[in-house]
A and B are shown apart, each in its own frame.
Chain A
Amino acid sequence: MEWEAAALVLSARPFGEGSAIVHLFTEEHGRCAGLARGGASRRQASLWQPGNLALVHWRARLADQLGQVTGELVHPAAVTILDAPLSLAMLSSVLAVADATLPEREAYPALFLDTVRLVALIAARADDPPMALLVAWELALLGEIGFGLDLGACAVTGSTSDLRFVSPKTGRAVSEDAAGVWRDRLLRLPAFLRDPDAPSGPEDWRDGLDLTAHFLSREALGQRHVGLPAARLRLRERIGAMISA
């Protein structure tokens, strides 16, 4: 069995002396792993850097085997932002969350395209990192893997205006009026998630990251008793530090 496809490198870890086990995200084959012979060597190490888009050839005798991968670099995203701390933290977070939450070998074509687009934007906009888009991507990921939030109308009144909170239990929006005395127990819904054109700043990003972190932890990762990836926690920490500064 073999296939060739454009793939986003999610992670790569050394295996043996010079090889690497790489996790890839493709449009047709979803998240899949493969052994890259010589993948940790001087010649290939830059190819399998997380965030890179590569044209990958995957081959195995049987479909359920790990498989061997070879690749050719299409777009080196990571290397362009090595000196931009926030962009690098965002890239690491996106890849770690995708790697940790997506089931293996299940196709999510729309999410793949969104992810490639987001990674390209992160790499291109180091001076204006697309944080709001990252939060929106995490919401889209939750929806794709079956834990979508209902942010269209208030869970209490049915109103579609003035939605400011999200119920941590149901994942449904709650309006300002309906929040009442429970507002401190609800998650904040940042304006940019209601209106994509709304301006956003570090405090909105923090609210958005806390919102998605709650559902990623509980729904996507909690079932497997694993926590949020370290890269995602560091991104949240970085935004918190931006607010305190």
Chain B
Amino acid sequence: MVALGGSDIERLIAMLSRLPGLGPRSARRAALYLLREPQTRLAPLSRAMDSAARSVRTCSTCGTLDTTDPCTICADPERDRGLVCVVETVGDLWALERAGIHRGVYQVLGGTLSALAGMGPDDLNTAPLFARIKAGGVREVILALAATVEGATTAHWLQERLAPTGVAVSRVGHGVPMGGALDVLDDGTLAAALTARRPA
């Protein structure tokens, strides 16, 4: 590899190139952009990252990432604590929050049942969910898991474990997305949409 002006710069490029969406070439461009004006670009980024590394933690109630524990969502008195939406990852929670349609709270599982990924029932973050149900006040659990074999298997598994609690369990619908013309949809989505059709 050609030396790029010192080991610190090379290390910065190497670290940036590990980020999603960046390869060595784009990491070099990003490093160069930051280093051109270090005081206004690099130093604030460095401080923000350092601060995030020190303050961000996992919420002990729902499993999301926040600077406080319990997280902002769990601590929000306006949220409906009787409505718990179960998602696979923090990214899924952020997607639902962006949409702004769920006014309840969440439970982040941290994955789905998958032999390939080494995820078994014990690896899923379900204990806080059952603790919340046991404590009372939960009316409905919404299973917002992926429309994949692993997502559906996890949903069925969880549904069976929730059945004895008496809490209502629902699942998000699968099918044609908003603005999705039928002729450009993939076959799997079309099949899911037809399978999950309902009376008009």
Interfacial residues, chain A to chain B (CB-CB below 8 A) = 11, 13, 17, 43, 45-47, 49-52, 73, 76, 78-80, 82-83, 85, 88-89, 91-92, 96, 229-231, 234, 241
Contacts and interface: CB of A to CB of B under 8 A. Distances in A.
A173 B69 CA distance: 61
Nearest to A45: B148
B109 interface: no
Contacts of B159: 85
Contacts of A230: 113, 115, 120
Contacts of A85: 156, 159-160
Contacts of B156: 85, 88-89
B119 to A, nearest CB: 9
A92 B116 CA distance: 12
Interface residues of B, number: 25
B81 interface: no
A49 B188 contact: yes
Contacts, number: 68
In the complex, the 9 A-B pairs of residues with the closest C-beta atoms, listed nearest first:
A46-B188, A85-B156, A82-B152, A73-B187, A13-B116, A230-B115, A79-B191, A76-B191, A79-B192
A54 to B, nearest CB: 10
A82 B120 CA distance: 19
B185 to A, nearest CB: 9
A46 B157 CA distance: 22
Given A50-B149, A85-B156, 15 more contacts: A11-B116, A13-B116, A17-B20, A17-B21, A43-B186, A46-B187, A47-B187, A76-B191, A78-B148, A78-B149, A83-B152, A88-B153, A230-B115, A234-B113, A241-B160
B117 interface: yes
A79 B20 CA distance: 29
A47 B192 contact: no
A46 B153 contact: no
A227 to B, nearest CB: 10
B94 to A, nearest CB: 17
Nearest to A86: B156
A230 B147 CA distance: 20
B189 interface: yes
Contacts of A13: 116-117
Contacts of A50: 149
Nearest to B186: A46
Contacts of A76: 187-188, 191
A230 B187 CA distance: 29
Contact of B188 (A11, A17, A79, A91): A79
Contacts of A46: 186-189
A89 B117 CA distance: 18
Contacts of A241: 160
A241 B186 CA distance: 36
24 contacts: A17-B20, A17-B21, A47-B187, A49-B149, A50-B149, A51-B149, A52-B188, A73-B186, A73-B187, A76-B187, A76-B188, A78-B148, A78-B188, A79-B192, A80-B195, A82-B147, A82-B195, A83-B196, A85-B160, A89-B153, A92-B149, A229-B115, A231-B115, A231-B153
